[in-house]
Amino acid sequence: MLILGLESSCDETAAAVVRGRGARGHVLADVVASQHDVHRPFGGVVPELASRAHIEHVIPVVDAALTAAGVTLADLDAIAVTCGPGLIGALLVAVQTAKAMAYGAGKPLVGVHHLEGHMSAIYLEERAPPMPHLALIVSGGHTSLVLVTDHGSYGVLGQTRDDAAGEAFDKGAKLLGLGYPGGVLIDQLANGGDPQAISFPRAMLHKESNLDFSFSGLKTALLHWVRANGVPGSPASTATTAVAQTQSMQDVCASYQHAIVEVLVRKTRAAVEATGVAAVQLCGGVAANSALRAGMAQAGLADGFELFVPKPSHCTDNAAMIAMRGYFRFAAGGRDELTLDSRANWPLPHATPQWVRGA
Ligand code: KG4
Ligand code: ZN
């Protein structure tokens, strides 16, 4: 089955062609036009600018994907598109484009939940997790621990009560004057730093049975640290030499990142223990983080669960994962009318919040 996927929920305009067969997808084309340069001067995504950039990029990106895959619209079995959650003006661009193409080419339209897309990226890899498994979804807008019992069938075990993990990275990077997007910059700088140098708080670890997260206190702790010590490299910094400045920035990044990663790993370990599942997948942009990947792999070895993580370019937003989820939905008989709408807020569908501990 040949599926075209489209994604424009935040700051990437993406199109991909995936051939789905059984429980796996094979990527024929995977095109992403990033808007990082557009938003960098503002230190975060500006919704109006995002919508405008999506409008400029969407047709060239779709053309590029079809050309790279060597297919035409006529060859497709369905067109899948992210219809939420996300920035409403941004979502509309891919949704309207997908609808127009579906109508013009007479192809079925399949709306996709962005987080279900993230959880489907792993099926584009050679190794994919068995059912049931746990998914840790960590992105710029979401942090959730999900029990996946089947494609499209989930129970949310825990989620963030305030900032998402990616938001913590991005806001932290902004406080440190590192620029946007911050996650990958902190990841790189943390590489040369000491994760124990500064003791940042780890929230919500006191109760093992509570699988929710909170990251806003960590961001405030960093703000206090910056007020007391200055941003390394700035005139206000207490580190005196250039070498000390560099080391100090690396230590702050490593310590801040470690605080985020430790909470994510410990909550995931607690969820594995409580549910008894033998497999975990990481997904969403923060799953590209090298310390999280390493920390979770170590936890897997210690606790005996198998870890599955997509390649980094399939952790951050892309349309291959949307085509993959579209394939699963379409193969199960799912499709949408041309009245399909975009939804800024959209809880994970089919979720069963009343998860019974140990069930
Ligand atoms: O999934 P995604 O591309 O978009 C959303 O759905 O939100 O996730 C973007 C988030 C951003 O907060 C970004 O800083 C973070 O993922 N991110 C990272 C890394 N790469 C991207 N965070 C930490 N380390 C990384 N290497
Ligand atoms: Zn995403």
Q: Flag whether pLDDT at 351 surpasses 80.
A: no
* Closest ligand to residue 165's CA: 1
Contact of 16 with 320, CB cutoff 8 Å: yes
Report helix, strand or coil for 345: coil
Q: What is the mean pLDDT of the chain?
A: 95
Q: Flag whether pLDDT at 352 surpasses 70.
A: no
Q: How far is the CA of 276 from the centre of ligand 2 (A)?
A: 28
Q: Assess whether the C-beta atom of 181 lies below 6 angstroms from ligand 1.
A: yes
94-105 pLDDT, tens digit per residue, is 999 999 999 999
Q: Assess whether the C-beta atom of 178 lies below 6 angstroms from ligand 1.
A: no
Distance CA(302)–CA(143), nearest Å, equals: 24
The pTM is what? 0.96
Pocket test for ligand 1, best of 286, 296, 309, 315 (most atoms within 8 A of CB): 286
189-224 pLDDT, tens digit per residue, is 999 999 999 999 999 887 777 999 999 999 999 999
Q: Flag whether pLDDT at 18 surpasses 70.
A: yes
Sign of CA dihedral 348, 289, 10, 222: positive
Q: Assess whether the C-beta atom of 183 lies below 6 angstroms from ligand 1.
A: yes
Q: How far is the CA of 195 from the centre of ligand 1 (A)?
A: 20
Q: Assess whether the C-beta atom of 139 lies below 6 angstroms from ligand 1.
A: yes
Give the range with max mean pLDDT: 31-45, 49-63, 198-212. 49-63
In the prediction, which pLDDT does 350 show? 55
- Strand pairing of 143-150 and 279-283? unpaired
240-264 pLDDT, tens digit per residue, is 999 999 999 999 999 999 999 999 9
In the prediction, which pLDDT does 206 show? 79
Q: Which has the minimum average pLDDT: 32-46, 83-97, 108-122, 301-315? A: 32-46
* Closest ligand to residue 287's CA: 1
Give 85 or 358, the one with higher predicted confidence.
85
141-174 pLDDT, tens digit per residue, is 999 999 999 998 889 999 999 999 999 999 999 9
Q: Assess whether the C-beta atom of 166 lies below 6 angstroms from ligand 1.
A: yes
Contact of 285 with 317, CB cutoff 8 Å: yes
Distance CA(159)–CA(137), nearest Å, equals: 9
Q: Flag whether pLDDT at 353 surpasses 50.
A: no
Share of the chain above pLDDT 70, in %: 97
Q: Flag whether pLDDT at 184 surpasses 50.
A: yes
Q: What is the end-to-end Cα distance of the chain in Å, rounded?
A: 36
Q: Flag whether pLDDT at 358 surpasses 60.
A: no
Distance CA(18)–CA(310), nearest Å, equals: 15
In the prediction, which pLDDT does 204 show? 86
Mean pLDDT across 132-138? 97
Mean pLDDT across 93-116? 98
Report helix, strand or coil for 300: helix
The CA distances from residue 23 to 19, 92, 131, 315, in Å, are: 11, 29, 12, 19
Give 154 or 84, the one with higher predicted confidence.
84
For atom 16 of ligand 1, the residue with the nearest CA is 285
Distance CA(267)–CA(264), nearest Å, equals: 5
Q: How far is the CA of 171 from the centre of ligand 2 (A)?
A: 17
Burial of 50 (0-12, 13-18, 19+ CB in 10 A): buried
Distance CA(84)–CA(353), nearest Å, equals: 20
Q: How far is the CA of 240 from the centre of ligand 2 (A)?
A: 40
In the prediction, which pLDDT does 286 show? 98
In the prediction, which pLDDT does 357 show? 45
Pocket test for ligand 1, best of 139, 318, 325 (most atoms within 8 A of CB): 139
